[in-house]
Amino acid sequence: MTQSHLSRRAVLRGIATGFAALPLLQAGQASAQDAAILSETDPAAQGLGYVADASKIDAAKEPAYKAGSVCDGCALYQAAQAKDGHAPCAAFPGKLVAATGWCRAFAPKA
């Protein structure tokens, strides 16, 4: 049976690296919780045709929209971080989008 040998220096370096990364992990969690809800008037939202309530989309004016397509069913929507009907979206970094919303970046979950 072979034993792996770690030096005390390597162990201490690993512990120090872990402690150094802790504030970064906490900052990432805080930013998702503290992110602002995306407004339909935001330039990025307007660029992708974002609406907070997909049921109000006029299909004649937005041909890319398919009935039933909402943010909650999109691969970019980070449902695991959802709170109060909103969650982060990869299409709008730093913003929360409505689960009932839609935009042209919609990509159905696989």
Give the position of tokens 């990509």: 107
Residue 1 has pLDDT above 70, yes or no: no
| Residue 83 phi, psi (nearest 5) | -150, 130
The per-residue pLDDT for 55 is 95
Structural domains in the chain? Answer: 8-98 (4.10.490.10)
The per-residue pLDDT for 71 is 97
Nearest to 89 by CA among 43, 58, 25, 101: 101
Alpha helices in 5-80 (DSSP H): 8-34, 43-47
